[in-house]
Structure 1
Amino acid sequence: MACAVLAAAVGTHPELVVWLLLVPAGVLLAVVDFAVHRLPDIVTLPFAVITLALLGAATLLPGTDGRWTTALLGSFALGGSYFVLFLLTPRSFGFGDVKLALALGGVLGWYGWAIVMIGTFAGYLFGALYGIALILAGRASRTSRIPFGPFLLAGAFAGVLLGSHG
């Protein structure tokens, strides 16, 4: 389903191949994080490297609708920001989220800084809405921990959808 939505939104631009290759890993990470509250290094670290490498390759093809340099800088900016959050609040922000942010910063950065901000905000918004829903349903308290990776991924997905139309 996610692949079909991306294909419809992105069209025939070379980066579509990148997004379609990354979706299965993103779905796997979301499922694992929901199940065990962990984002495994064996997936997150290659996910970040492969993301940037594939976007670099897409830049070499005609018809590309993004910028690799902004993707690279977005990767470092989002990864660095999440690392600071991890250092400030290690009990509420996992290091797996930091590693995932490297890839997602690249994905969002492909379409520019505005999309980095929108995709990041969307991830936080989705996570907050989920947490509020759990609290209202009586299934969690204000101090309960929820997996954040799925919401970071959903925010990046929303950012790519918006960025591909820009």
Structure 2
Amino acid sequence: MSAVLVTGIALLGAPAGWAAVPVGRSLVPGHPGDAPRRSTLALAGVVVFGGLAATRGTDPALPALLLVAAVGLVLGVTDVTALRLPDPLVGVVALGGGLGLIAATAATGEPRRLAVAVGGAALSFVGYALLALLPRARLGFGDVKLAAALGLPLGWLGWPALRLGLFLPHVLAGVAVLVLLAAGRVRRDTPVPFGPALLGGAWLAAVLT
């Protein structure tokens, strides 16, 4: 959710003409002051890490969740400012999260949870890949890969967390777009980053289930 808030703040502060910027280009070129400020990111970090620590403090997978959250904040800002989810960062989420979950499996002796995590990643990939292939779909394959990477920790947390993590991004993205449309910051054909909604939905699913 905090990632979605960062998105909203950044887009609401962007110049009115940014909607014409094509995918892959900065949304706020030449206006570094329009990017999320350090204080905003610091607050988002406190909310994200504090929420995970408060709700998952006894879970052996907490280090993996915190790593995913830390890289996720960077990915959220990158997607807002450049409409990109760089593969190396998504790879860190997948590899770092996966290694952390392997360590958690060794600590708990519950290989079933790791199997569910892998199944969650596969299900997330297939589901979002199908959505991305739909006509007029606004999902990119960067979003698909990020969804798969987030499916690992969500699967570890269980099927309820995975279901919620797959559903909530669409709700968050819809609300964010409606707010931005009402504020006159975007048009109906404006490319809006979906990565922050994926990250925010995964975080909410982790702290609510």
TM-score when scaled to structure 2? 0.72
Find 1:79's aligned residue among 96, 109, 125. Answer: 125
Give the length in aligned residue pairs.
162
Contact 2:56 2:62 in 1 (8 A): yes
1:161 counterpart = 2:168: no
What is the letter of the counterpart of residue 206 of structure 2? V
* CA displacement at 1:91 relative to structure 2: 5.5
CA distance in 2, matches of 1:63, 1:70: 14
After superposition, the C-alpha distances for 1:28-80 in whole angstroms (9 at most, x for unaligned) are 0000000011100111123212222221221111398x811111100000011
1:45 maps to which residue?
91
Q: How does 1:32-71 map to 2 (within 5 A)?
A: 32-62=78-108, 67-71=113-117
1:143 maps to which residue?
189
Mark the runs of 5 or more structure 2 residues left unpaired by the alignment: 1-45
* CA displacement at 1:88 relative to structure 2: 2.1
What is the letter of the counterpart of residue 53 of structure 2? A
2:62 maps to which residue?
16
1:6 maps to which residue?
52
After superposition, the C-alpha distances for 1:86-139 in whole angstroms (9 at most, x for unaligned) are 222476111110110111111211122221111221111111000000111122
1:129 maps to which residue?
175
Contact 2:85 2:195 in 1 (8 A): yes
* CA displacement at 1:140 relative to structure 2: 1.7
Superposed CA RMSD: 1.8
1:92 counterpart = 2:92: no
CA distance in 1, matches of 2:135, 2:207: 31
Q: Percent identity?
A: 38
Contact 1:14 1:63 in 2 (8 A): no
- Which secondary structure does the structure 2 equivalent of 1:108 belong to? helix
2:164 maps to which residue?
118
Larger Rg: 2
Find 1:101's aligned residue among 147, 150, 173. Answer: 147
Q: Given the superposition, is the C-alpha separation of residues 39 and 6 from structure 1 closer, same or farther in structure 2, using an over 3 Å criterion?
A: same
CA distance in 2, matches of 1:95, 1:158: 23
Q: Given the superposition, is the C-alpha separation of residues 90 and 32 from structure 1 closer, same or farther in structure 2, using an over 3 Å criterion?
A: farther
CA distance in 2, matches of 1:47, 1:81: 19
Contact 2:67 2:96 in 1 (8 A): no
* CA displacement at 1:153 relative to structure 2: 0.2
